[in-house]
Amino acid sequence: MNGAQSLIRTLVDAGVDVCFANPGTSEMHFVAALDSVPEMRGVLGLFEGVVTGAADGYARIAGKPAATLLHLGPGLGNGLANLHNARRAHTPVVNVAGDHATHHKKYDAPLESDILAVAGSLQGWVRESHSTADVGADAAAAVAASMDPPGRVATLILPADVSWGDGGTAVAPIPPRKPHAVAPGKVQAVAEVLRSGEPVAVLIGGPACREAGLRAVSRITAATGAKAFIETFPARLERGAGLPTIERLGYLAEQATHQLSGIKHLIVAGTKSPVSFFAYPGKPSDLVPEGAQVHTLAELDHDVVGALEALADEVAAGVEPVLQEARRPELPSGPLTAQNWVEVIGALLPENAIISDETNTSGVLLPNATAGAPRHDVLTLTGGAIGQGLPVATGAAVAAPDRPVIALQADGSALYTISALWTHARENLDVTTVILNNSAYAILRMELQRVGAESSGPKANALLDLSKPDMDFAKIAEGMGVPATRATTAEELAEQFRAAQAEPGPHLIDAVVPPLL
């Protein structure tokens, strides 16, 4: 078999059987080899940011990596923003970045670039395959590296001649490492903090944001009176009726400071001590209240859930978690507002849904409206690089074809990777996209004030304004093959959302919502 065939066979043997692809000439042998390995599914994205974001969303739901196929340095560059988000989500991703043939690189052909620098910027795992005989072993190493706790972006650079050369062999998977056990005594030490009588908060992230971790934390807070928070942007958060509801730490430093005020101890598990998303003149970056002590129960590459369960058994033996009751908002009526659109979603969210949430300012009131909805997963914007929502929804839908995927998407952010809609149509994915169309970079209007910028004249305002012209996302979606409607009232949104749920396949609703602020 050639290098490409050995690569794909090795990936499939390691459980990596979906490849989100945007290939070019140097990847043609990989493309041709897809037909020789029936288990591998190729999913075309029309821009690399779609491809990499889809791989992120896929792995968050599937619990195993997808491959990407990218065209040289510029293709990897186009995929970089959503790989940044994947890195922050600790998502396992296996990039296959094609490169020029080894003997061609010295000619500095037009597409030659410093692909190693671009790949290296992701601070994950990078390797270049130097010979066809190595490709299988390199691919097996890439998969293992991607899944090494807590998960990372692995990039395998595949020169065209290494791909087309003969003499490849499939290599057996390398079992991924298990998370480290938490050091003996750590749980007891943290338990002492909880028993101290001083105000304590527990901040969880990563794998703790799923049922087992949430139940353990709920037991701890029920037994000790500690506060508990979820990291601001979890990769995958399980929520809804029957699960503990735990508040997320706010995006704005002011919110987080308020949430943490008065605590003397912060116990951290599966995430880092909280810091401000951006710096602001005269405001601290570290959000831990002055004088409070931080206690790390479990780093991200440790057995976070096991540590929380052990802590719960220590301080909350026999105590049950507090579970969210089923409750939904009433269906609202009247023109859409930042307040009522979330009630429509809360009222109508289907069973077992996956929400890809890139609502930014428009979604501030969403968590409360959906807290008692049927159990669902929420995938958030982990790295702050906008343009993640539609691609992540793509990958989630590929990973879970039997679950409804709801992409709640801010208008400005949608434009970065809008062609994800075409992939929704191509693959007939059951994704309902709701665009929160407020014709502004609303979050930047707020940030312009928050950073203390002196003036806010017409030129500044024009750069934050998405009207003139207003966008019609229903037309854009139809142009890409996704049936679409426009809603301006709560009744229309409810009717269109219900209709989208009733029919399989992708739909888009352009929900015209005034800015929150």
- Sign of torsion, CA 77 82 85 90? negative
| Tokens at 261, concatenated | 């005020």
Specify which residues 2 forms β-bridges with: 166
Q: Which is nearer to its own copies, 121 or 339 (CB)?
A: 121
Query: Least Å distance between CB 384 and its own copies?
Result: 4
Query: Least Å distance between CB 483 and its own copies?
Result: 10
Residues 6+ apart with CB under 8 A from 354: 61, 376, 377, 379, 393, 396, 397, 400, 403, 404, 405, 406
Query: Least Å distance between CB 116 and its own copies?
Result: 9
| Tokens at 180, concatenated | 């480290």
Q: Which is nearer to its own copies, 264 or 278 (CB)?
A: 278
Q: Which is nearer to its own copies, 122 or 345 (CB)?
A: 122
CA angle (240, 246, 247) in 5-degree steps: 110
Q: Which is nearer to its own copies, 2 or 370 (CB)?
A: 2
Query: Least Å distance between CB 283 and its own copies?
Result: 10
Q: Are 273 and 286 in contact (CB under 8 A)?
A: yes
Residues 6+ apart with CB under 8 A from 161: 101, 102, 103, 104
Query: Least Å distance between CB 441 and its own copies?
Result: 8
Query: Least Å distance between CB 332 and its own copies?
Result: 27
Of 74, 80, 79, the residue nearest 51 (C-alpha): 79
Q: Which is nearer to its own copies, 27 or 343 (CB)?
A: 27
Note the Cα 156 to chain centre separation in Å: 22
Q: Which is nearer to its own copies, 42 or 199 (CB)?
A: 42
Where helices occur in 271-328 by DSSP H, the ranges are 304-315
Query: Least Å distance between CB 189 and its own copies?
Result: 25
Q: Are 506 and 356 in contact (CB under 8 A)?
A: no
Cα–Cα distance, 252 to 380 (Å, whole number): 16
Q: Which is nearer to its own copies, 29 or 265 (CB)?
A: 29
